[in-house]
């Protein structure tokens, strides 16, 4: 059992500090002069006391130093039979820390002095006696004097305590107060003290949200029983899975960083997890045991200063935990200028020489210059993770749902077609769906297709949302009221989308088509005729998400920036399988003009770039315009389907009135919808607005919807659009 007052007496770390203290005290001893109360001014002892302790000799100081020497002598000889398990544990942790962080003797001395002041209460007391005041940190000159009292290795000690030293770079020590080293004090970082005590470590407040261990540290007995459902890299279903597995193995052997090009959630974290798997030991019992992955996400940090602190803490934690460092969110860092790219490169540069495996995920929008820096300058090994095939996604969905005890039912085919998710997104979606079911019933959770769809929507929150808006359609084809010619043209679009892959790829009709394989359509017609609704239904029918391009986020006044944002838009849509919808397309796809100024030239360049991207795009692009003749002729030739949406006739207007009023809504028996359809020439969007406004009138008086409410609302709709209200004769 530990002896409370001297448990540390046999700690080798304490012996080291005791040796440093004794060297320091020997030099502080007064010289043998006649007046012992006042040593000769200018002597070595007085100079050290003046410099290190900040005051001259007096009785209080001599008594304090005598107390320190007495305690040092008292603990000099220790019975080997009283070795404390606690001390032995701390010593093992100290050796692991020093080896993992690569500390030199001077850095070890500095950290030992600071750590012992926190671990051993008596040492902290002696520091405060020597400094004549309680302090949370040791002053620079005092700490430097303890390490090297004679000043024989001043350069090495100054480097050990400098911001460029390992202690500061890995956040092993904290500097308290003062803009310069000499003005502040030092203390051991709380994470170091927790590591020496073998306790869970708290991450610094500004870094905490951005740094996490994946999976969290678990007791050895439990972590050994974890059985991840994820398959091996070569069997995931990527086209280049064998190459990925080979390069992961190469990175593990050569200690080179892996630079993974992939959208978030598409498998970069899975690559890091495979890199963290432990090899088999002599008995073969630890084969494939999952090691920790330290996840650093720059997207959760506020500024450059916080990012630099997070990188230092991540390097420390990766060394202390023996984890693979996974760096994410590089796309979120500013990269708009050469200076910004250089700042990001400097931020990531310290990873070049680290001894542990590391993975850096770069999204599709990351600067190519930065990617080149990491690969060529940093010796990174590049890996590109493509989209999963539908068969691979189905296999991964079945594995994930089975692992979490979820019956996929008939909704699996819809999930595979509708959501182009990556391997980690599938895993998180399955877990989230189970969590949604447990909110309803903790004892017997039953996952519904709606749970899975909600979970998938949350996981598909990719970078497209930064420059486009997801279009959610709740209506069905039964709610669409159009003339038969328009419906036939829409059926042609759906038919092409459903069989495009089979005809062009499987049957070989696309072998001679190096470009122009996209499903492109132009919807023209007045506002409110259903163009956006039909675009959403087509995307839903083809099993993909529809995103409306946000022109305010795409178009920039700076030269070249519009093309860069368009590139980001098409790259993300191509990678995620999303359909793109350009509303008011004539503003972006307008006709090129004769070049009379630099403005005309750069505007034409944007149109030319759009032409190239659409030619090489393989997804779904739908344009909508009220003025189709304003669209450039080159786009017109490349659009595969053109659908004109007409104003509804009387029969269609009557059908729209009936569709817009819910059958279970409170309403009078005779709303005279036929008279409204006959007298008022409205589009579907205008009829919807009129119905909702009329329902508001009825709700205000807490009564069922009436014909008078509808008539009043229709007249207001006419006024809103600047038209004269027709004389109804009612």
Domains, the chain, with CATH or none: 7-196 (no CATH), 208-219+227-280+288-384 (3.40.50.300), 390-461 (1.10.8), 477-644 (3.40.50.300), 650-720 (1.10.8.60)
Q: What proportion of the chain, given as a percentage, has pLDDT over 90?
A: 17
Work out the angle between the directed axes of helices 449-459 and 423-440 (0-180°, nearest 10): 130
- Interval 564-616: pLDDT, tens: 778 878 887 876 778 899 988 887 777 655 544 445 555 566 677 788 888 88
- Of residues 268, 263, 266, the one with CA closest to residue 248: 268
Rounded to an integer, the average pLDDT of 242-270 is 88
**Strand ranges, E, within 573-686:** 579-582, 620-625, 641-644
The whole-angstrom separation of Cα 711 and Cα 694 is 8
pLDDT of 44: 42
Question: 35: pLDDT confidence band, cut at 50, 70 and 90?
Answer: very low
Give the whole-angstrom CA distance, residue 530 versus residue 528. Answer: 6
Q: How far is residue 241's CA from residue 42's CA, in Å, rounded to a whole number?
A: 74
Among the ranges given (227-236, 490-499, 513-522, 681-690), the one the predictor scored with the smallest mean pLDDT? 227-236
Query: Is residue 31 predicted with pLDDT exceeding 60?
Result: no
pLDDT at 649: 92
C-alpha–C-alpha distance, residues 461 and 525, integer Å: 31
pLDDT surpassing 70 at residue 432: yes
Is 514 a residue whose pLDDT tops 70?
A: no
Q: Please report where in the chains the tokens 């122009």 appear, as a residue.
A: 516
Tokens matching residue 154: 């001043």
Give the angle subtended at the CA of 370 by the CAs of 364 and 376, to the nearest 5°.
110
3-state secondary structure of 494: helix
Q: Which of 525, 540, 483 is nearest to 655 (CA)?
A: 483
Range with the poorest average pLDDT among 52-56, 534-538, 633-637: 52-56
Token duo for residue 407: 């019956």
Determine the distance from the C-alpha atom of residue 276 to the mean position of all C-alpha atoms in its chain, rounded to a whole number. 20
Range from 3-12, 136-145, 382-391, 560-569 carrying the lowest mean pLDDT: 3-12
Q: Tell whether the model's pLDDT for residue 282 goes beyond 60.
A: no
In this prediction, residues 305-310 reach a mean pLDDT of 87
Q: What is the pLDDT averaged over residues 488-500?
A: 90
Predicted pLDDT of residue 183: 58
Of 68-77, 127-136, 222-231, minimum mean pLDDT range: 222-231
Q: Is the pLDDT of residue 453 over 70?
A: yes
Would you state the pLDDT for residue 650?
92
State the Cα–Cα distance between residues 707 and 700, nearest whole angstrom: 15
Widest CA span of the chain, in angstroms?
126
- 210 vs 286: which has the higher pLDDT: 210
What mean pLDDT value characterizes the chain?
79
- Given pLDDT bands bounded at 50, 70 and 90, which one contains residue 1? very low
- Asked if residue 486 lies in contact with residue 586, where contact means CB atoms within 8 angstroms, the answer is no
Confidence of residue 224 (pLDDT cuts 50, 70, 90): very low
Token pair listed for 379: 């010796």
In this prediction, residue 451 has a pLDDT band, given cuts at 50, 70 and 90, of confident
Say whether pTM exceeds 0.75.
Answer: no
Select, from the ranges 39-43, 461-465, 474-478, the one with the highest average predicted confidence (pLDDT): 474-478
Give pLDDT, residue 462. Answer: 62
Name the least confident of 49-53, 275-279, 390-394, 497-501. Answer: 49-53
Using CA atoms, how far apart are residues 269 and 293, in angstroms rounded to an integer?
A: 9
> Does the pLDDT value for residue 491 go beyond 90?
yes
pLDDT greater than 90 at residue 263: no
Using 50, 70 and 90 to split pLDDT, how confident is the model at 38?
very low
* Confidence (pLDDT) at 221: 40
Lowest mean pLDDT among 41-50, 270-279, 355-364: 41-50
In the numeric block, which tokens belong to residue 596?
């009379």
Q: What is the DSSP letter of 153?
A: T
Count of Cβ atoms closer than 10 Å to residue 338 Cβ = 10
Identify the residue with better confidence: 109 or 463: 109
Does position 542 have pLDDT exceeding 80, yes or no?
yes
| CA distance linking residue 456 with residue 431, whole number of Å | 11
């Amino acid at each position: 059992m530990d002896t409370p007052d001297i448990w540390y007496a046999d700690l080798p770390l304490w012996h080291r500090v005791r040796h440093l203290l004794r060297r320091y005290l020997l030099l502080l001893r007064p010289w043998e002069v006649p007046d012992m109360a006042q040593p000769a001014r200018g002597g070595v002892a007085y100079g050290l006391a003046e410099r290190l302790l900040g005051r001259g000799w007096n009785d209080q100081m001599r008594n304090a130093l005598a107390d320190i020497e007495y305690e040092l002598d008292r603990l000099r000889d220790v019975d080997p039979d009283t070795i404390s398990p606690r001390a032995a544990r701390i010593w093992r942790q100290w050796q692991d820390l020093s080896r993992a962080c690569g500390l030199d003797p001077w850095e070890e001395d500095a950290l030992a002095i600071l750590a012992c002041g926190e671990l051993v209460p008596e040492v902290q007391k002696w520091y405060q006696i020597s400094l004549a005041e309680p302090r949370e940190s040791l002053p620079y000159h005092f700490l430097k004097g303890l390490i090297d009292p004679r000043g024989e290795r001043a350069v090495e000690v100054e480097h050990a305590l400098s911001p460029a030293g390992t202690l500061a770079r890995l956040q092993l020590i904290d500097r308290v107060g003062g803009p310069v080293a000499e003005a502040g004090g030092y203390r051991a970082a709380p994470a170091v003290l927790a590591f020496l005590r073998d306790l869970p470590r708290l991450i610094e407040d500004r870094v905490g949200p951005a740094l996490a261990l994946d999976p969290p540290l678990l007791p050895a007995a439990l972590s050994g029983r974890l059985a991840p459902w994820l398959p091996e890299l070569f069997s995931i279903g990527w086209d280049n899975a064998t190459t990925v597995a080979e390069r992961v193995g190469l990175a593990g052997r050569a200690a080179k960083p892996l630079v993974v090009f992939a959208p978030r959630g598409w498998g970069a974290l899975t690559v890091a997890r495979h890199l963290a798997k432990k090899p088999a030991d002599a008995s073969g019992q630890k084969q494939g045991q999952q090691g920790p992955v330290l996840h650093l996400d720059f997207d959760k940090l506020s500024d450059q200063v916080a990012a630099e602190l997070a990188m230092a803490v991540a390097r420390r934690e990766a060394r202390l935990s023996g984890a693979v460092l996974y760096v994410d969110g590089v796309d979120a860092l500013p990269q708009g200028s050469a200076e910004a790219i250089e700042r990001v490169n400097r931020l990531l540069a310290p990873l070049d020489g680290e001894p542990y495996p590391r993975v850096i995920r770069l999204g599709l929008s990351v600067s190519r210059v930065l990617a080149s820096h990491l690969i060529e300058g940093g010796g990174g090994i590049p890996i590109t993770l493509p989209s999963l095939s539908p068969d691979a996604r189905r296999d991964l969905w079945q594995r994930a749902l089975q692992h979490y005890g979820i019956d996929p039912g008939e909704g699996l085919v819809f999930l595979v077609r509708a959501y182009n998710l990556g391997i980690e997104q599938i895993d998180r979606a399955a877990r989230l769906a189970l969590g949604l079911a447990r909110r309803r019933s903790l004892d017997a959770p039953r996952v519904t297709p709606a749970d899975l769809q909600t979970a998938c929507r949350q996981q598909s929150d990719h970078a497209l949302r930064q420059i486009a808006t997801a279009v959610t359609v709740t209506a069905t084809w039964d709610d669409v009221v159009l003339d038969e010619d328009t419906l036939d043209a829409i059926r042609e679009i759906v038919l092409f989308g459903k069989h495009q892959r089979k005809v062009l790829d499987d049957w070989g009709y696309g072998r001679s088509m190096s470009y122009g394989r996209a499903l492109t359509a132009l919807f023209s017609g007045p506002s409110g005729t259903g163009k956006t609704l039909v675009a959403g239904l087509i995307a839903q029918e083809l099993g993909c998400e529809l995103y409306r391009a946000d022109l305010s986020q795409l178009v920039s006044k700076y030269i070249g920036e519009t093309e860069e944002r368009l590139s980001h838009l098409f790259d993300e849509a191509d990678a995620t399988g999303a359909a793109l919808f350009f509303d008011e397309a004539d503003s972006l796809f307008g006709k090129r003009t004769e070049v009379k100024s630099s403005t005309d030239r750069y505007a034409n360049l944007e149109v030319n770039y759009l032409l190239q991207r659409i030619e090489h795009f393989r997804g779904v692009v739908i344009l909508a315009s009220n003025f189709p003749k304003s669209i450039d002729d080159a786009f017109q030739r490349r659009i595969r389907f053109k659908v004109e949406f007409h104003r509804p006739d009387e029969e269609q207007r009557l059908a729209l009135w009936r569709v817009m009023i819910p059958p279970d809504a409170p309403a009078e028996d005779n709303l005279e919808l036929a008279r409204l359809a006959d007298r008022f020439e409205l589009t579907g969007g205008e009829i919807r607005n009129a119905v909702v406004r009329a329902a508001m009138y009825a709700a205000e008086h807490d009564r069922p919807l009436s014909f008078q409410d509808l008539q009043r609302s229709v007249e207001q709709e006419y006024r809103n659009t600047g038209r004269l209200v027709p004389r109804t004769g009612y």
